[in-house]
Structure 1
């Protein structure tokens, strides 16, 4: 675009035109970070921080839970060990008391509950045990019974063993099987009674265990 200027040396008052060079203006642009990208970066960083905090919290909780559980486990075992030592320190004494009203008596109650043995201490007289009953009662009140079968004769100075069903393989010729019993009592305290066909107690065996 040309500009109009006046010259001071021109006497006639004419105007001299001096063209003004054209200037082309070029805009300067800068590549500034996008607002969207900045927001995304901030959001990503925030999410990473949140995840890290969650992970640290979860890890802390698990470690805390493990420590508490492990301490409880140690305390439980210490209590069990102390109780075991106390039981070992205690001395036990087991007594067997027998009584009989006649030649028929209870000779033995197997410690593993396999059998009960009845004997005839008479030297000359056989005893008919048909209808007789063995009754065994534990400390908790559980009662086991067995009734002798018909034609059951116990000769003098002989014994007869009443085995439980699982131990039938150990049976000898004179032994009997208590088919309804899986085991006789094996506890620390129980009473075994022999009752005749009239319902009268004729013999007993009492097991007692005393701790001191």
Structure 2
């Protein structure tokens, strides 16, 4: 009888512990846990989709095909608010100084800083130019040129960050500092956008893609 009571007692403890563990896991799953690099790289995913919009817009501008010019302006404004004023500020305030202080990847960081500045110039020009409802042929060509310069610069820019800078961050700082950085990024995002800025940006990009009829991924599958 004593053995049976002991068994039931121990079983109850195990069941209670298991339930507590399950609850803990469910709560953890409910709260999205995004690492520092994952956060930065998925923001690059938003940028990649805007570069696709830019590419399609540049082609339509130079070919004379119909294009709702306001959609280009909206895309450039999203670049400004989500990429330049948020994502790049995180890099400039929290990542670049750490590499510069450690004397690592200094030349790369210098180039990335310069490209951020050049990108902001191009973005301002696109926003200003697309305030008009109709553009002359010369203005269409100028906007298309700025979009292509932006694409040409940012495609290798983000690729170099994803494959060189971000991976090197793990070796540069401790795990505790790395985790704290991710938490700081999340707080900054909620403060700046009043919620999940990434989800908001994805929704905005999706809406533009649909209006331009380039949302369907099958459109990009080659007929081979």
Please classify the TM superposition score into its range, dividing by the shorter chain length. under 0.3
Bigger-Rg structure (1/2): 1
Relative to its length, the structure with more strand (as a share) is: 1
- Structure-1-length-normalised TM-score: 0.24
**Structure that is richer in helix per residue:** 2
TM-score under structure 2 normalisation? 0.23
RCO comparison, higher one (Cα < 8 Å, 6+):
2
